[in-house]
């Protein structure tokens, strides 16, 4: 479908976790529109149905597959793997998009680290780190049997540098970055580069998880939202479609010598000292 073979994703079997969410959902729709066979993973059938309806707007029905699985549920992931292999015979790509924060794992205004809800901290690490490791564990072995494989994880601007209040999520995403490098080295050596592992690092994208933190009901910025925009050289939040190019690149042959990299899509946030 793509005029350059470097970026051709036609018929690639690409799995997307968190595909009922904002960023990974948008990426899944984009990949399907590029001619990939996309497996949408979600936790509930009704949200999956809505996502699949979007997929079918641009793509023949046979290329969109929806599977219900929690990324922390190994037997469910293994059943899904068997279904995919039965249907399409291989797995070429995995976008580990499931993730997010929860309020208990952050330090609320007026509170200190001593007030941290450790259960929430653990749950956020579970979702973001273990929810990346487990799908990688289940879905990369079939890639070893195929001609190629590319895993793309989601890091965050809070992984490389401290962002106030966001303690659990930052620790989890820092773990995702290290795991990205570790698995890149392990699979890169074992397959002589056939399987690659990288991560995207989105800056700040307005979504349901952070909307109340960053904007008021009338759409104006909260103090925190304003601080983020002031520290983003582009002076705005990102939009989901602005991740598509980076994800496409990392899944396609254009990045055939790229592994273990963390690609920032952040309007310059990570490059800026704030001064």
Ligand X SMILES: NC(=O)c1ccc[n+]([C@@H]2O[C@H](COP(=O)([O-])OP(=O)(O)OC[C@H]3O[C@@H](n4cnc5c(N)ncnc54)[C@H](O)[C@@H]3O)[C@@H](O)[C@H]2O)c1
Q: Does 156 bind ligand X (CB under 6 A)?
A: yes
Shortest distance (Å) from residue 211 CB to ligand X = 9
With binding defined as CB under 6 A, does residue 22 bind ligand X? yes
Nearer to ligand X, 92 or 266 (CB): 266
Tell me whether residue 191 or residue 210 sits nearer to ligand X (CB atom): 210
Where is 93: in which H helix or E strand?
strand 93-96
Nearer to ligand X, 35 or 270 (CB): 270
Nearest by Cα to 152 from 251, 228, 219, 60: 251
Of 121, 24, 25, 16, nearest to 71 by C-alpha is 16
Structure tokens at 194: 């056939």
Select the residue interacting with ligand X from 33, 50, 72, 221 (CB under 6 A): 72
Is 169 among the residues known to form the active site?
A: yes
**With respect to ligand X, which residue has the nearer C-beta, 120 or 188?**
120
Part in contact with ligand X (CB under 6 A); list of ranges 20-28, 60-68, 138-146, 251-259: 20-28
What Å distances lie between residue 244 and 27, 141, 198, 262, CA to CA?
A: 6, 26, 15, 15
Whole-angstrom Cα Rg for the chain: 18
Q: What is the DSSP string of 206-261?
A: --TTTHHHHB-TTSPBPHHHHHHHHTSTT-S-B-GGGGHHHHHHHHSGGGTT--S-
User: Per CB under 6 A, which region of 19-27, 57-65, 178-186, 249-257 contacts ligand X?
Assistant: 19-27
**Residue 131 Cβ, how far from ligand X at the closest point, in Å?**
6
Stretch that binds ligand X, among 60-68, 94-102, 134-142, 215-223 (CB under 6 A): 94-102
Q: Kindly list the strands in the beta sheet with 37-42, ordered across the sheet, starting from the edge strand earlier in the chain.
A: 64-68, 37-42, 13-17, 93-96, 149-154, 195-202, 262-265
Q: Is 98 in the site for ligand X (CB under 6 A)?
A: yes
* Residues lying near ligand X in the complex (CB under 6 A): 17-18, 20-24, 43, 70-72, 97-100, 127, 131, 154, 156, 202, 204-205, 207-210
Mind telling me the catalytic residues?
169
């Amino acid at each position: 479908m793509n005029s350059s073979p470097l970026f051709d994703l036609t018929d690639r079997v690409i799995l997307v976790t968190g595909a009922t969410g904002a960023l990974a959902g948008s990426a899944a729709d984009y990949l399907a529109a590029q001619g990939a066979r996309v497996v949408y993973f979600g936790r509930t059938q009704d949200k999956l149905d809505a996502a699949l309806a979007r997929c079918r707007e641009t793509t023949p029905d046979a290329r969109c597959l929806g599977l219900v699985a929690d990324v922390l549920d190994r037997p469910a992931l293994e059943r899904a793997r068997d279904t995919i292999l039965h249907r399409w015979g291989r797995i070429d790509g995995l976008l580990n998009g499931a993730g997010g924060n929860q309020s208990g794992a952050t330090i609320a205004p007026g509170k200190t680290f001593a007030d941290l809800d450790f259960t929430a901290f653990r749950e956020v690490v579970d979702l973001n780190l273990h929810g990346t490791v487990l799908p990688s564990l289940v879905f990369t072995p079939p890639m070893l049997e195929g001609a190629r494989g590319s895993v793309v994880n989601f890091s965050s601007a809070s992984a490389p540098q401290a962002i106030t209040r966001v303690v659990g999520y930052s620790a989890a995403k820092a773990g995702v970055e290290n795991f990205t490098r570790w698995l890149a080295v392990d699979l890169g050596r074992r397959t002589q580069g056939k399987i690659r592992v990288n991560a995207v690092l989105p800056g700040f994208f307005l979504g349901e998880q952070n909307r109340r933190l960053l904007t008021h009901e009338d759409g104006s910025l909260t103090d925190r939202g304003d601080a983020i925009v002031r520290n983003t050289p582009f002076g705005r939040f990102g939009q989901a479609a602005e991740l598509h190019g980076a994800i496409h690149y990392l899944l396609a042959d254009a990045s055939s010598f790229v592994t273990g990299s963390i690609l920032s899509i952040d309007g310059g946030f990570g490059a800026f000292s704030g001064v």
